[in-house]
Amino acid sequence: MAQGRLATVSWGESEEDGGAVLTTVDSLVNWARKNSLWPLPMGLSCCAIEFMAAATSRFDMARFGAEVARFSPKQADVMIVAGTMTYKMGEAVRRLYDQMAEPKWVIAMGACASTAGMFRTYPVMQGIDHIVPVDFYVPGCPPRPEMLINTLIQLQKKVASERAHKGLRVANLKAEKATA
C-alpha cells in the first residue's frame, strides 16, 4: 500500500479480530493519487497514435491506473501533450491546463512537445515549457508506448514523494497568512 510509512495495529489475537492501519495523510493521499492518474490526452499529432496504443490492451496503461483518458480538463490529473504544438494550439493548451484542478502534472511526450523537434519553423513553439510547467520530457519521435508507460511510472514515484496539499488553494492561503 502506501509505501514506506505504514504500521498495523491489531485489537485482538489475530487479523480477523479487526485492526487499524496507521500511516500519514501524505502517504495515503499520494497512494490514491498515483494509482489513479487520469490523463488529459492533448493529442496534437502522431505521438497521439502512440498514446492510443499505450492505452490498448497490448500495452495496457490500465495496469498503472492511467487508462481513464478524460476529455474534460476538470476531471484530469495529468496532461499528456503528445505532438507538435503550434502557437495557435498553444492558446488551447494553456487554457485547458488552467482549467485542470490542482494538483496537476504535465508530460511532454515526444521530441516536438519537448523542443519542437525538427520544426524550427514560423508556426511552432519550441517546446511546450514556454507556456506550461512540464514534469517529464519523453524523448522519441514518437516514443514507443513502453516509453510513455515508463514515464507514468516515474510520475507515480514523483507523486508519491510530494506533499499531499501540493498546489491546493488552502495551502497557499496559509502560506500567505504566515508571511503577512
> Residues interacting with other proteins, by CB under 8 A?
87-88, 90-91, 94-95, 98-99, 120-123, 125-127, 130-131
Q: CB of residue 101 vs other proteins: minimum separation in angstroms?
A: 13
Write the CA distances from 60 to 41, 75, 146, integer angstroms.
16, 21, 10
Q: CB of residue 73 vs other proteins: minimum separation in angstroms?
A: 11
Q: How many residues does the structure list for the chain?
A: 180
Q: Which amino acid is at 58?
A: R
How many CB atoms within 10 Å of residue 155? 21
First-residue to last-residue Cα distance in the chain: 39
By C-beta, is 65 or 90 nearer to other proteins? Answer: 90
By C-beta, is 95 or 157 nearer to other proteins? Answer: 95
By C-beta, is 40 or 159 nearer to other proteins? Answer: 40
Q: CB of residue 132 vs other proteins: minimum separation in angstroms?
A: 9
By C-beta, is 110 or 127 nearer to other proteins? Answer: 127
Q: CB of residue 91 vs other proteins: minimum separation in angstroms?
A: 5
Q: Which run of H or of E encompasses 145?
A: helix 145-161
Q: Are 54 and 149 in contact (CB under 8 A)?
A: yes
